A and B are shown apart, each in its own frame.
Chain A
Amino acid sequence: RKEVEQDPGPFNVPEGATVAFNCTYSNSASQSFFWYRQDCRKEPKLLMSVYSSGNEDGRFTAQLNRASQYISLLIRDSKLSDSATYLCVVKPGNFNKFYFGSGTKLNVKP
């Protein structure tokens, strides 16, 4: 079983739409959670950390449900520039590594 599971998509949405991605993680000892964005043939870039109480950064809202072991990312008012692959990342407290999902591809169309 993979440590982090994501729907690969693609999610094809029009500009201005709201889109949400979920991911699930298997290790209940996970303590740190992140969303990364990766453009084609580029390195992953940290988008935001995910906190237990949920957090927002502009058009992006991240939420964590520890009981169900899933993390979500909501993007409001999608822009063409949001087109990318979004990677869900968890870091168990007792491990020195980040576990990445395979990513969810988002295509925002004009």
Chain B
Amino acid sequence: DTGVSQDPRHKITKRGQNVTFRCDPISEHNRLYWYRQTLGQGPEFLTYFQNEAQLEKSRLLSDRFSAERPKGSFSTLEIQRTEQGDSAMYLCASSLGAGGAFFGPGTRLTVL
């Protein structure tokens, strides 16, 4: 399967714990995005990478969130000191050029 993959698919954690998610984009795609989606809403932009450079970060992203894309391949999204409001589906997408983005299956985070 050459699509976008994400790991883990589900994560349950206790409030205050740190979590890290991984995204492997489609191999030739240089653009990578992280989005967050809650029930009944469309995906909300979190951050964008072009190759290894993080070029844009949403104001929604507090200091507890950090993302990396070393070597312009896979990406990680870390949430420190999780809060119940962080519970959501975290979606990664990749694209090439001006076309649409292709999403991975998402990581569903539940913070207890």
Contact = CB atoms under 8 A, between A and B. Distances in A.
Interface of A: 4, 8, 31-32, 34, 36, 42-46, 49, 87, 89, 95-103
B14 to A, nearest CB: 23
Nearest to A2: B42
Interface of B: 31, 33, 35, 40-45, 48, 50, 55-56, 91, 93, 98-106
A97 B54 CA distance: 12
Contact of B104 (A8, A43, A49, A97): A43
Nearest to B41: A102
19 contacts: A4-B42, A42-B105, A43-B91, A43-B106, A45-B103, A46-B100, A49-B99, A87-B42, A96-B31, A96-B55, A96-B56, A97-B45, A98-B93, A98-B100, A98-B101, A100-B42, A102-B40, A102-B41, A103-B42
A43 B41 contact: no
A87 B93 CA distance: 15
A102 B102 contact: no
B43 A100 contact: yes
A101 B98 contact: no
Nearest to A43: B103
